[in-house]
Amino acid sequence: MQRDGREPSGFAAVLQGLMADRASELPAAGGSVLDRWPDIAAAIAPQLPDHVQAVAFHPATGQLVLRPDSPAYATQLRLISARIVAAANESAGTGAVRAVRVLAVGATAAARTVPHAPVTPTAPAAPAAPVKTRQMASSGFREALAAHQSAVPAQTLDPGITEAVERQTRAMRELSRRAFPEAEVVPDDAPTPNGQASV
């Protein structure tokens, strides 16, 4: 005899039914997040889909695994992980995504991990970009760098330091005057003081 939904059910049966419904939603949500990653990423930042791949989703932990193509994008993903979780959950219509794991650049992860879904191979790792040096830079960059390095920043002097230097200079002059007194030089055409005979 089948139930038509109007008969009372035990708490255990209701809880078991809810868990079964929720469990079937998680893989679907994970597949949905992986399939919709380009749209989710574009909603966060327009250039993100070109530089970041969603490579796996683990329903048990709610972890979305992302692979960036450069260290700069890896850092950006870590900084905006809360936004990624919110955008992924909004797109999937569930709260299945709870964390973001950012792989190292060039690292490979297991294929898209979604239970009950066909496993698809991951894309080959992006080739490592050549290391750029100042010698490889454009002439415009080198000119701008030279102009920046030749510019002397405006120096601002602390009034307290200036005053201390002036006090020290005056004190040194006074010490020098005391240690080495100068004889008074009398010009030849100056009148002689009273009481002294001229020779």
pLDDT at 112: 45
Residue 188 domain-assigned? no
pLDDT, averaged across the chain: 74
Residue 19 domain-assigned? yes
Residue 186 domain-assigned? no
| Dist CA 199 CA 189 (whole Å) | 14
**Beta strand extents in 7-161 (DSSP E only):** 52-58, 63-68, 99-102
| Dist CA 25 CA 28 (whole Å) | 5
pLDDT tens for residues 24-33?
A: 444 444 457 8
Mean pLDDT confidence for 11-21: 61
Q: Residue 113: pLDDT band by 50, 70, 90 thresholds?
A: very low
Residue 38 domain-assigned? yes
pLDDT tens for residues 151-197?
A: 766 667 788 888 998 999 999 888 888 888 776 666 667 666 665 55
DSSP three-state, residue 196: coil
| Dist CA 51 CA 66 (whole Å) | 10
In percent, how much of the chain has pLDDT > 90?
8
| Torsion angles phi and psi, residue 141, rounded to 5 | -65, -45
Residue tagged 């992006």 (tokens): 126
Residue 173 domain-assigned? no
- Number of domains within the chain: 1
Domain assignment of residue 85, given as a range: 11-149
Query: Bridge partners of 52?
Result: 68
Q: Residues with Cβ < 8 Å from 92, sequence gap 6 or more?
A: 29, 32, 33, 36
Residue 164 domain-assigned? no
Residue 59 domain-assigned? yes
pLDDT at 43: 87
| Dist CA 199 CA 190 (whole Å) | 14
Residue 122 domain-assigned? yes
**Beta strand extents in 44-174 (DSSP E only):** 52-58, 63-68, 99-102
| Dist CA 74 CA 69 (whole Å) | 8
pLDDT at 16: 64
DSSP three-state, residue 80: coil
